[in-house]
Structure 1
């Protein structure tokens, strides 16, 4: 072994220790700065999604600034309209909440009595005493505070999106002036931007179609507050593995205890959720994205845990987006491409390709 190889081998533990220490510092910084980073990340992803219609309008002859203004106006109009509808639906849901709560409590009590009659060691009176203090109205104050915080964060995100959209107009010129040889950096950034926009466009479209189909299913079956459940399905579709299941629990449970519903209708609605998410999430989405934009199951679950711990509920919603952004950024640089391959689902065709690349053996005559 040469001296350089021996020195490099001895320095590997030091480099690994420094890398782990840097990772711990970065994660701690993100955890402490979550209040600042969450609106920034939301604005960044929304701005990336909006760049595609801006470029489409620019290719149709509209000036770039005009395309940005038109895109922002359309986005603001859609968000405002959807916000009014959701707020109206949510206010109706809050008005009907006491009746829903009483029906859920009655169904819960009947379930406990039935389990107790089957011989299980369950005392309904003792379980009721455990939750006796949970019926106060203190949650209303907390909910109103969270809604106020949500609207303030929404205003901050909206302003950031506006500034980011106009900042992208001369971003390439700034990079060209800042670097002596900007061509490699601009090329890698262009590849990263195209791949990220493709992923976000596909994911957002799939989530939007999921919300529309869920609204249609709830409307046809007769579930109340169909728009509210559709928006919930759209948002939770960004959470891998468990998001769709969580989105199905409130409407199925509501239909189960409703006067016009029952076990049959709740089962049909659960099948509708299962069918929509299976077709869109397991069949259509992988075909549109391809294996290059996929994550392994373990990485997807770990991203859910890690980003959820760092950023809370928003981290759960953005876990796949953040991990895919990291994967795309690593894949855009040759020196870090191996880490992107570790985050991916693998390639089962690699063995077949290696077999195909082997030269055919000579036949012995």
Structure 2
């Protein structure tokens, strides 16, 4: 029994490493494909409802227009918020330089020298290389989304035929398990986005109100940034608390005020992410927090920003499919979040 457990664990580890290697090497194809499948699961109910009333191609056109409009709105919000804040940070660059000089002098007085390290690794050449990398990434982003939308169009056209083929060419048990797992996965994806949207709205509203009450400039922009970034677990909320803190460094004279702003923003993120979100999602999206953290950072390393966004849905899909097959159900039981507590007799 013990040897079987070791063999199973070793097999799972080797398969995970192999999948990660293939995903890293084939990111140009697999990253947009995975995101496309996720979008298909979200928008399929709209497509299915429309094509019962209008021709399939017209339903597809309406669905794609709605999808692209949603993507453009979210992108525009992010660009607007970061653009406004970024312009202010560039304008206050001299003040940040003065803060940096004070920090370096304080470290020098305590026997810690970082000026040489900064000059060696963070010079003008480094800044130019980073700017070129960002420009290249922006150019690649357009191609990425075009490929993703192409996958979405082709996938929406094939959903019905794939369901028929599964019933026709697979055994009844296999087709039943596959279709049931697929249906539950899409249901969880939609629930995930519903919960994430509600929590993002709450986070954006609270951050904007707090920024306005604390006297931080760009309160509306900070709320919009917090709303958009909250769709990326862990990394997004951290960035949404870091940038307002950086702005606070030029707005307040005491470090206590800066620390208080940073702590308050983290409290908002913690309460919503660790209390309200599990309360709203319930057992439908129950998943081990350690697996959430691992998924976010693993897929961020594999696919960058898109991996950070899609990491948790990938974990949800894997757990859902594992739960529908007896041989892999133990994986879903192990990483499916905390088990519901049994009622204690005599309490």
Whether contact under 8 Å (1:116, 1:122) holds in the other structure is yes
Query: Is the radius of gyration larger for structure 1 or structure 2?
Result: 1
- Cα distance, 1:41–1:229 mapped onto 2, change above 3 Å: farther
Residue of structure 2 in register with 1:277 after alignment: 269
Cα distance in 1 between the residues matched to 2:144 and 2:124: 29
Cα distance in 2 between the residues matched to 1:62 and 1:222: 50
Cα distance in 1 between the residues matched to 2:136 and 2:26: 21
Answering whether residue 128 of structure 2 is matched by residue 121 of structure 1, we say no
Farther off after superposition, 264-273 or 165-174: 264-273
- Cα distance, 1:170–1:216 mapped onto 2, change above 3 Å: farther
Higher RCO, Cα 8 Å, sep 6+:
2
CA RMSD of aligned residues (A): 3.7
Cα distance in 1 between the residues matched to 2:313 and 2:167: 28
Matched residue SS, 2:218: coil
Q: TM-score, normalised by structure 2?
A: 0.79
- Cα distance, 1:344–1:15 mapped onto 2, change above 3 Å: closer
Deviation at 1:115, TM superposition (A): 4.4
Matched residue SS, 1:290: helix
1:146 to 137, 148, 153: 137
Cα distance in 1 between the residues matched to 2:13 and 2:115: 52
2:238 to 245, 259, 266: 245
Residue of structure 2 in register with 1:161 after alignment: 152
Q: TM-score, normalised by structure 1?
A: 0.76
Deviation at 1:32, TM superposition (A): 1.5
- Cα distance, 1:70–1:262 mapped onto 2, change above 3 Å: farther
Deviation at 1:349, TM superposition (A): 1.0
Residue of structure 2 in register with 1:36 after alignment: 29
Deviation at 1:249, TM superposition (A): 0.4
Farther off after superposition, 145-154 or 328-337: 328-337
1:294 to 286, 295, 298: 286
Cα distance in 2 between the residues matched to 1:198 and 1:73: 22
Cα distance in 2 between the residues matched to 1:23 and 1:295: 18
Deviation at 1:121, TM superposition (A): 0.8
Deviation at 1:285, TM superposition (A): 1.2
Answering whether residue 325 of structure 2 is matched by residue 330 of structure 1, we say no
2:40 to 40, 44, 47: 47
- Cα distance, 1:90–1:152 mapped onto 2, change above 3 Å: farther
Whether contact under 8 Å (2:77, 2:224) holds in the other structure is no
Whether contact under 8 Å (1:109, 1:124) holds in the other structure is no
> How many residues in Structure 1 have an aligned counterpart in Structure 2?
342
Cα distance in 2 between the residues matched to 1:12 and 1:278: 37
- Cα distance, 1:313–1:65 mapped onto 2, change above 3 Å: same
Q: How does 1:75-224 map to 2 (within 5 A)?
A: 75-84=67-76, 86-88=78-80, 90-91=82-83, 95-117=87-109, 120-123=110-113, 126=116, 129-130=119-120, 133-134=123-124, 136-181=127-172, 182-215=175-208, 217-218=210-211, 221-224=215-218
Farther off after superposition, 151-160 or 125-134: 125-134
Matched residue SS, 2:92: helix
Residue of structure 1 in register with 2:308 after alignment: 316
Cα distance in 1 between the residues matched to 2:285 and 2:334: 13
Matched residue SS, 2:123: helix
- Cα distance, 1:123–1:184 mapped onto 2, change above 3 Å: closer
| Structure 1 segments unaligned to the other structure (5+ residues) | 1-7, 357-365
- Cα distance, 1:116–1:107 mapped onto 2, change above 3 Å: same
Cα distance in 2 between the residues matched to 1:162 and 1:112: 54
